[in-house]
Amino acid sequence: MNSSSNDGWKLLLENTAPNALHDSRQRFDPPKCDEDTRVEVIDEIVNWIQDRDSPQRLLCMTGAAGAGKSALQQTIAETCESNDTLGSAYFFSASDSTRNTITTVIPTIAYQLGLKNPVLKSMINSAIEEDPLIFSKSLQVQTMALIVKPVGRICGRTDASALPHAILIDGLDECRNEGQQTELLTVIKTCFLNNSNLPFRIFLASRPELAIRTELEPGGCLHEKVYHIHLNDQYDATDDISRYLWRRLRDIGRRSRDPRARSAEWPDSLIVERIVTAASGQFIFAATVIKYISEPRGSPVDRLETVVTWTDWLTSKTKSFEVLDVIYAQVLSTAKSAYEAVDTNEKHDFLLLLNAHAANVYGPDTVSVDVFDRVLGLGNKTHELLISDLHSLVTTKVTKPGEGENSQTKLHFYHKSFLDFMDAEERAKDLYVNPERVHAHVAACCVKHIRDYSSRFVPPSTDSGYLSKENADDHEFILIAYKKLKRALEGLARTNLEATKQLLMELTRGRGWEKFDHWILHQLRSRKDNKWGLAFGVSEEFEPFSRLLDQLEDNFETGQDPEFDSLFLNMKTYVDKWVDEMRDLVV
User: DSSP string covering 190-203, please?
Assistant: IIIIT-TT---EEE
Q: What sign results for the dihedral spanned by CA atoms 271, 242, 280, 415? A: positive
Helix (H) or strand (E) holding 76: helix 69-82
- Average of pLDDT values for 225-252? 91
- Of 26-35, 214-223, 526-535, least confident by mean pLDDT is 526-535
- N-to-C CA span, the chain: 37
| CB-side neighbour CA atoms (13 Å) of 511 | 9
- Of 269-283, 330-344, 465-479, least confident by mean pLDDT is 465-479
Q: How far is CA 498 from CA 318, 363, 508, 523, 549, in A?
A: 43, 24, 15, 31, 13
- Phi/psi of residue 24, nearest 5 degrees: -70, 155
Q: Determine the Cα–Cα distance for residues 525 and 132; give it in Å rounded to an integer.
A: 29
Q: Determine the Cα–Cα distance for residues 337 and 354; give it in Å rounded to an integer.
A: 14
pLDDT level of residue 326 (50, 70, 90 thresholds) = confident
CA dihedral of residues 92, 95, 101, 102 (deg, nearest 10): -20
Q: What sign results for the dihedral spanned by CA atoms 518, 519, 524, 525? A: positive
Which of 407, 344, 354, 393 has its CA nearest to residue 376?
A: 354
pLDDT at residue 462, rounded to an integer: 39
Using one digit for the tens of pLDDT, what is the confidence trace for 60-111? 999 887 788 999 999 999 999 999 999 999 999 988 889 999 999 999 999 9
Which of 120, 191, 190, 186 has its CA nearest to residue 156?
A: 120
pLDDT above 50: residue 403 = no
Is residue 393 within 8 Å of 467, Cβ to Cβ?
A: no
Q: Which residues of 518-529 are buried (b: 16+ CB within 10 A; e: fewer)?
A: ebbbebbeebee
Q: Determine the Cα–Cα distance for residues 378 and 448; give it in Å rounded to an integer.
A: 13
In the chain, the percentage of residues whose pLDDT exceeds 70 is 90
Q: Determine the Cα–Cα distance for residues 577 and 570; give it in Å rounded to an integer.
A: 11
Q: Determine the Cα–Cα distance for residues 175 and 447; give it in Å rounded to an integer.
A: 33
pLDDT above 50: residue 399 = yes
Is residue 27 within 8 Å of 146, Cβ to Cβ?
A: no
Q: How far is CA 117 from CA 110, 153, 202, in A?
A: 11, 13, 19
Name the maximum alpha-carbon separation found in the chain. 81
**Treating both helix axes as pointing N-terminal to C-terminal, what angle do 562-586 and 512-526 enclose, rounded to 10 degrees?**
10
pLDDT at residue 147, rounded to an integer: 98
Is residue 374 within 8 Å of 477, Cβ to Cβ?
A: yes
DSSP reduced 3-state for 517: helix
pLDDT at residue 35, rounded to an integer: 85
Is residue 203 within 8 Å of 166, Cβ to Cβ?
A: yes
Is residue 300 within 8 Å of 256, Cβ to Cβ?
A: yes
pLDDT at residue 303, rounded to an integer: 93
pLDDT at residue 415, rounded to an integer: 82
Domain boundaries, the chain: 7-234, 238-318, 319-433, 454-587
DSSP classification of residue 58? E
Supply the mean pLDDT for the chain. Answer: 87
- Of 178-192, 210-224, 465-479, least confident by mean pLDDT is 465-479
pLDDT at residue 425, rounded to an integer: 94
CA dihedral of residues 537, 503, 481, 365 (deg, nearest 10): -50
Between 52 and 526, residue with greater pLDDT? 52
Between 306 and 80, residue with greater pLDDT? 80
- Of 58-72, 286-300, 523-537, least confident by mean pLDDT is 523-537
Which of 298, 319, 322 has its CA nearest to residue 310?
A: 322
Q: Determine the Cα–Cα distance for residues 54 and 539; give it in Å rounded to an integer.
A: 54
**Sequence-ordered alpha helix ranges (H) in 311-434:** 320-342, 350-362, 369-375, 382-386, 416-423, 425-428
pLDDT at residue 252, rounded to an integer: 95
pLDDT at residue 472, rounded to an integer: 61
DSSP reduced 3-state for 12: helix
pLDDT above 60: residue 536 = no
- Average of pLDDT values for 446-463? 70
pLDDT at residue 404, rounded to an integer: 45
Nearby residues of 58 by Cβ (< 8 Å), 6 or more positions away? 188, 189, 192, 193, 201, 202, 204, 222, 225, 226, 227
Q: Determine the Cα–Cα distance for residues 89 and 20; give it in Å rounded to an integer.
A: 8
Using one digit for the tens of pLDDT, what is the confidence trace for 466-484? 444 556 677 788 889 999 9
What topology does CATH give the domain 7-234? Answer: Rossmann fold (3.40.50)
Q: Determine the Cα–Cα distance for residues 137 and 140; give it in Å rounded to an integer.
A: 8
pLDDT above 90: residue 519 = no
Q: How far is CA 378 from CA 45, 121, 348, 478, in A?
A: 49, 50, 9, 15
